[in-house]
Amino acid sequence: MQPTPFRSAALMALITSLVSLPAMAEEPRYNQVALRAEVSSEVAHDRMHVTLYSEAQHNDPAQLAAETTRALNQALQTARQSKDVIVSQGSRNSYPVYDDKGQQISGWREHAELRLESGNFASLSKLTAELMKSLKMSSMHFSVSDPIRKQNEDALLKEAVAAFQARAQLATEALGGSGYKLVSLNLNGGGFQPVMRSSAMKMDMMESAPIPEIEAGTRQVTINADGVIEVQMP
């Protein structure tokens, strides 16, 4: 059966309308400008981290383990007396020591860590100096706590949006526009970058157990506002 002219016309109209749908859905945009605004601030470190360790060598691995345990237990008892210091044990491992020819085991060496963290720098510094009489230092560094980091990032988010709006207005005026529409806006944190190197306690200083002066330094937090505006021309 041959299609009637009415059916053919209706089919052609349907095809034409379907083809034109994407064109109607994607409205063309003109005078779009991509902009970026960046704001940053320096944040003081408020957390101090110290890692101490005990390391010894002995021919008898069992006796070596016992000596290491006693040293750690004594250090833990001392550290727990400082209520504002978080104390935790780090890694502990032992390994064989070979003779000069590298063929036979001549002894065993054990390494055990003690980790300390506090927001009270003076208290942790004093405790570290005391523990250094029997332990050695592996590292010391400073950080920004999560509440302080979030507080600064939230404040910078508002500043980043304001800075982006200011740049959008400048771009609109430079192009001779009467206003602009915001097409998209992405706010990204650049993370914390060190600004000042944190001071480190030297081993030879700590072995004599003085209390060093602490300069924690700061870190820089950055927020980027990347977006696109559409300038409206008069």
Q: What is the pLDDT of residues 89-119, one digit of tens each?
A: 999 999 999 988 878 888 999 999 999 999 9
> pTM, whole model, 2 decimals?
0.69
CATH topology of domain 29-46+144-234: Translation Initiation Factor IF3 (3.30.110)
Distances (CA, A) of 216 to 63, 86, 119, 125, 131: 40, 18, 11, 12, 20
Which part of the chain has CATH 3.30.110? 29-46+144-234
Closest listed residue to residue 215, CA positions, set 194, 202, 197, 195: 197
CATH number of 48-143: 3.30.70.360
| Rounded percentage of the chain residues whose pLDDT exceeds 90 | 66
Count of CB atoms situated within 10 Å of the CB of 110: 20
Residue 83 buriedness (CB in 10 A; 0-12 / 13-18 / 19+): exposed
Taking only the tens place, the pLDDT of each residue in 172-228 is: 999 999 999 999 999 987 655 544 433 444 434 444 455 666 778 888 889 999 999
Which part of the chain has CATH 3.30.70.360? 48-143
